[in-house]
Amino acid sequence: MHYKILRRYTLALYGVAEDTKKLDEVKKDADFIISMLNESRDLLLFFSSPIINKLKKKKIAKMILGDSISEVSMRFIDLLIERKRDNLLKFIYEDYLALRNERLGIMNVKIKTAVELSAKEKENMQKKIDELINLKSNPTFEIDKDIIGGFQISYKDTILDASIKSQLEKLHKLYKSGDAELN
């Protein structure tokens, strides 16, 4: 896949969404479309198929997605089908979400904890993360009992590991190497 082509379409979609003040609406469309394509292999194959003619594709796409997405997104999908770029649909919308977040100063953050956090704990953690990264965070919370306790936060290429598991592993390595002494 050519990133330049993908990016050009992403920028065009973002530009139209921004000009028409529909950034949030197109974000909802992107979430919906990506979810649909992830759940349905047949739909993904449909948009990737060079055999199905353009008119039939447009008609079926409108039938499947028409009531669930905005006119901006429907027209954009028609354009992709017309230009035989509909195989890039999922990647363009994923890139749109990343570009939108970047332009709005929002960082996707993944937070792993050993137990489910309350709404208040999640809110407090998000505030602390916002201060730490100096941006607004868009957190995704995940439960991972393997970390035993504490938490792991990952964003971009950074992982902050304050889990009990990592602390135990560090201690184990330290004692195994013989660098630590017991008093």
Of the residues 102, 135, 151, the one at which a domain ends: 102
Same structural domain for residues 35 and 81? yes
- Is residue 62 situated within a structural domain? yes
User: pLDDT tens digits, residue range 9-34?
Assistant: 999 999 999 999 999 999 999 999 99
Supply the range of the domain harboring residue 26: 3-102
Quote the pLDDT of residue 115: 94
- Could you tell me if 83 and 114 lie in one domain? no
Distance CA 163, CA 148 (A): 7
Give per-residue pLDDT as tens, 36-82.
Answer: 999 999 999 999 999 999 999 999 999 999 899 999 999 999 999 99
Quick one: 94 and 124 in the same domain? no
Does one domain contain both 60 and 149?
no
* Residues 81, 164 share a domain: no
d(Cα 98, Cα 94) in Å, to the nearest integer? 6
The helix/strand/coil state of 111 is strand
The pLDDT score that the predictor gives to residue 176 is 85
Task: Write the pLDDT tens digit of every residue in 125-149.
Answer: 999 999 988 889 999 999 999 999 9
Give the closest residue to 137 by CA, choosing from 148, 152, 122, 151: 122
Is the overall model pTM greater than 0.85, yes or no? no
